[in-house]
């Protein structure tokens, strides 16, 4: 048992788990503070329709998965199947933790009309596009895809005439369809698989 505890401690220390946990704390805290508030503008840009602050926080929840996926060591290391499996379980565990934090945030914000399935879908999508940055060796830029999707999607992703969000801005929709859930699960699964089996070929990563 002691050996497993030491292994878990070492695994925690070489990854940015503490930073990821702090990001999830921010998600829950800000969701509680913001409540059911909606944004009508992003800086100087007006939004075509107001969006829950909680929807934006789900992007940070997804980024936290990629933050935890970053290993802070240099040099090469053996990469047997059990290590790859551990890496996959690590990423999946953080995806689950991020979903849980987002669901707690949704309960705290009391966002009427925001479906639980939509929260799960959003975290899966944001996690997938953030983990992808780790897999291609851009660990300092894990926040970029989610940030771009939030900014561009919130401003340009809503069709006033069609009264709906575009397919690529679906993370702002307050309900989720089975097809969207299937796609989100597929994206997240592919991202985790690539991270678990593909990352070592792109390391060592330098600061």
Of 16-20, 72-76, 94-98, 147-151, the range with the lowest mean pLDDT is 72-76
Residues 8, 28, 126, CA angle at the centre, nearest 5°? 75
User: Among candidates 71, 79, 59, which has minimal Cα distance to 17?
Assistant: 71
For residue 183, the model assigns a pLDDT of: 96
Q: Give the pLDDT of residue 70.
A: 87
The predicted structure's pLDDT at residue 59 = 95
pLDDT band of 71, cuts 50, 70, 90:
confident
Q: Is residue 2 predicted with pLDDT exceeding 80? A: no
- Where does the pLDDT of residue 7 fall: very low under 50, low under 70, confident under 90, or very high at 90 and above? low
Domain coordinates in residue numbering, the chain? 9-201
Share of residues in the chain with pLDDT > 70 (%): 86
Q: With bands split at pLDDT 50, 70 and 90, how would you rate the model's confidence at 180?
A: very high
Question: So what's the pLDDT on residue 46?
Answer: 86
Nearest to 111 by CA among 29, 26, 38, 58: 38
42/149 Cα distance (integer angstroms) = 13
pLDDT 10s digits, 79-114 = 678 778 888 989 999 999 999 999 998 888 777 778
pLDDT of residue 201: 44
pLDDT at 207 over 80: no
pTM, rounded to two decimals? 0.88
CA 200/CA 43 separation, integer angstroms: 40
Q: How far apart are CA 128 and CA 138, in angstroms?
A: 14
Residue 202 has pLDDT above 70, yes or no: no
Q: What is the mean pLDDT of residues 135-164?
A: 88
Is residue 106 a contact partner of residue 166, using CB atoms and an 8 Å limit? Answer: no
CA distance 111 to 96: 21
């Amino acid at each position: 048992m002691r050996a497993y505890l030491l292994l878990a401690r070492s695994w925690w220390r070489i990854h940015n788990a503490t930073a990821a946990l702090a990001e999830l704390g921010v998600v829950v805290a800000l969701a509680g503070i913001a409540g059911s508030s909606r944004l009508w503008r992003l800086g100087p840009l007006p939004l075509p329709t107001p969006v829950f602050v909680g929807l934006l926080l789900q992007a940070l929840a997804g980024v936290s998965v990629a933050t935890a996926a970053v290993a802070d060591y240099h040099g090469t290391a053996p990469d047997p199947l059990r290590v790859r499996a551990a890496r996959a379980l690590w990423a999946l565990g953080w995806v689950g933790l991020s979903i849980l934090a987002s669901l707690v945030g949704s309960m705290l914000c009391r966002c009427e009309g925001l479906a639980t399935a939509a929260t799960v879908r959003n975290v899966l999508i944001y996690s997938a596009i953030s983990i992808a940055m780790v897999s291609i060796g851009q660990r300092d830029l894990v926040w970029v895809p989610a940030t771009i999707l939030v900014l561009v999607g919130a401003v340009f992703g809503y069709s006033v005439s069609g009264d709906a969000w575009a397919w690529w801005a679906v993370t702002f929709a307050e309900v989720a369809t089975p097809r969207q859930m299937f796609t989100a699960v597929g994206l997240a699964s592919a991202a985790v698989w690539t991270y678990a089996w593909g990352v070592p070929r792109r390391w060592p990563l330098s600061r």
